[in-house]
């Protein structure tokens, strides 16, 4: 069955290749030239990818489901390569839309692993989940090859566990490891030959458009206009100092203490509803017009949805801003005097290589970060859903957080497993007679 499935897959690839050549609209020589690296990529799909899928089907269960996602990811990447081979490079905005289908598959693979942490095949799922961002090499320039190698190294931590567990028990799992790792090995060789400094686009033909990507949903609606400004001073019942006068009068009344009740009128028993049943059926006395309450402001679009994504070095500062669903953000050339500021990023992964001074994560949502070496300081500001993976060399780093929630630090153990520890969000502050003393609450 596995051989038959492999044969069917090769036939599908061959038919797709013939259709792309016949529909290119150019000369025969031009079609052959632009499709050469698509054909080379087909060899990876027909070889190690097909073998990995076949062995995954043999293992079954969660591994097979994961393999189906990976197969879909490589099919999506082939579609992008086919577009690049016949089109000129588009703008960054269009290129981002072309990457969306592949980005969604990467997220799907990683989410599946997180949802199946109790799986008996969790090491298999982790090997795939940790390395699947390698599909994002198409957006890595000028060093896509080393990026894929790093993703392969991330997988080997878990594939070594699979080998240790099944080496003497089931050869199928050993062959599965070899087939999966060979995907990334062959992909590195492929990139070195055809895309050394980044994805190669055609120098002729039309500029690639967003319509070349499979449908991935409608674009976000335009931002709503801000609510009209209000003149608060007019509601205070006087001139510019009305609000201050009313506020002063309020505090003066409060400061009267027990004397504040002297101005109240006594209500006799015959006018109290709880002592006079005849008053309970009467309509309540109107209390005058309701005080004016300004309408709640309408939600406006966030800056991250309207501003272009940024990943650049500005002086000594690396700026990473406005990224949505970016699973392959990498900063590889760093110096000790540099700092990294990541702001307004959602469901994104940032990898920083080398040595630098500090990393600040601010105003982000669902942003995991992994430390591979040493880092002195990590600052987390205005961030919800942050997972920081520390290495054994970075356990002494200082983590400073403010206005953030759902912060978790994952610390590696001797067996290589990560222990997830929440960063406290609730504190208790008391006055000791000379200063304020703040401690973590027991519940935190």
Contact between residue 183 and residue 44 where contact means Cβ atoms under 8 Å apart: yes
Instruction: Please write the tens of the pLDDT for every residue from 15-44.
Output: 555 554 444 444 333 344 447 899 999 999
C-alpha span between 159 and 156 (Å, rounded): 5
* Distance separating alpha carbons of residues 172 and 181, to the nearest angstrom: 14
3-state SS of 318-383 is: EEEECCECCCCEEECCCCCCCEEEEECCECCCEEECCCCCEEEEECCEEEEEECCCCCCEEEEECC
| CATH homologous superfamily, domain 35-195 | Adenylate cyclase-associated CAP, N-terminal domain (1.25.40.330)
- 310-440 shares the fold of 35-195: no
CATH number among 1.10.10.10, 3.30.420.10, 2.160.20.70, 2.60.40.10, domain 310-440: 2.160.20.70
Choose between 206 and 31: higher pLDDT.
206
| Mean pLDDT value across residues 46-68 | 95
Q: What is the pLDDT of residue 237?
A: 43
CA dist list (Å): 5 to 1, 2, 182, 380: 6, 5, 20, 49
Report pLDDT digits (tens) over 296-345. Answer: 544 444 443 468 888 888 888 888 888 888 877 888 888 888 888 888 88
Judge whether 357 and 335 are in contact, CB under 8 Å: no
8 A C-beta contact, residue 109 and residue 132:
yes
Evaluate if pTM is beyond 0.85. Answer: no
Confidence of residue 108 (pLDDT cuts 50, 70, 90): very high
Domain map of the chain by residue range?
35-195, 310-440
**DSSP state letter for 52:** H
Angstrom distances, CA of residue 312 to CA of 53, 185, 333, 410 = 38, 29, 11, 28
What is residue 224's predicted lDDT score, i.e. its pLDDT?
A: 40
């Amino acid at each position: 069955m596995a051989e038959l499935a492999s044969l069917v897959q090769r036939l599908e690839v061959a038919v797709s290749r013939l259709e792309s050549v016949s529909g290119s609209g150019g000369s025969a020589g031009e079609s052959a030239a632009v499709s050469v690296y698509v054909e080379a990529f087909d060899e990876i799909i027909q070889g190690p990818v097909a073998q990995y899928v076949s062995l995954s089907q043999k293992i079954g269960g969660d591994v097979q489901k994961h393999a189906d996602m990976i197969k879909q990811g490589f099919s999506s990447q082939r579609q992008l390569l086919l577009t690049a081979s016949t089109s000129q490079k588009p703008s960054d905005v269009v290129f981002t839309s072309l990457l969306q289908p592949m980005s969604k598959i990467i997220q799907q693979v990683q989410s599946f692993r997180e949802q199946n942490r109790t799986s008996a095949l969790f090491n298999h799922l982790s090997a795939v989940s940790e390395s699947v961002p390698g599909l994002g090499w198409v957006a890595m320039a000028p060093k896509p090859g080393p990026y894929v190698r790093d993703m392969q190294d991330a997988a080997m931590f878990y594939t070594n566990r699979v080998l240790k567990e099944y080496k003497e028990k089931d050869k199928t799992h050993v062959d599965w490891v070899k087939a999966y790792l060979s995907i990334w090995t062959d992909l590195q060789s492929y990139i070195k030959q055809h895309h050394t400094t980044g994805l190669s686009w055609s120098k002729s033909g039309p500029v690639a458009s967003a319509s070349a990507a499979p449908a991935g949903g409608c674009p976000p609606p335009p931002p709503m206009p801000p609510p009209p400004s209000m003149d608060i001073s007019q509601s205070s019942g006087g001139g510019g100092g009305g609000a201050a006068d009313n506020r002063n009068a309020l505090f003066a009344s409060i400061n009267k203490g027990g004397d504040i009740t002297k101005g109240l009128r006594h209500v006799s028993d015959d006018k109290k509803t709880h002592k006079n049943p005849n008053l309970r059926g009467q309509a309540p006395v109107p209390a005058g017009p309701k005080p004016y309450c300004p309408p709640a402001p309408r939600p406006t679009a966030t800056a991250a949805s309207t501003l272009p994504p940024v990943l650049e070095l500005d002086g000594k500062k690396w700026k990473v801003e406005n990224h949505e669903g970016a699973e392959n953000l990498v900063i590889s050339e760093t110096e000790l005097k540099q700092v990294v500021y990541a702001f307004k990023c959602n469901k994104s992964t940032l990898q920083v290589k080398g040595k630098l001074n500090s990393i600040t994560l601010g105003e982000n949502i669902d942003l995991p970060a992994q430390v591979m070496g040493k880092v002195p300081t990590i600052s987390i500001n205005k961030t919800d859903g942050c997972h920081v993976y520390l290495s054994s060399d970075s356990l002494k780093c200082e983590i400073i957080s403010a206005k953030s929630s759902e912060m978790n630090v994952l610390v590696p153990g001797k067996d290589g497993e990560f222990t997830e520890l929440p960063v406290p969000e609730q504190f208790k502050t008391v006055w000791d007679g000379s200063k304020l003393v703040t401690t973590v609450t027991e519940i935190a």
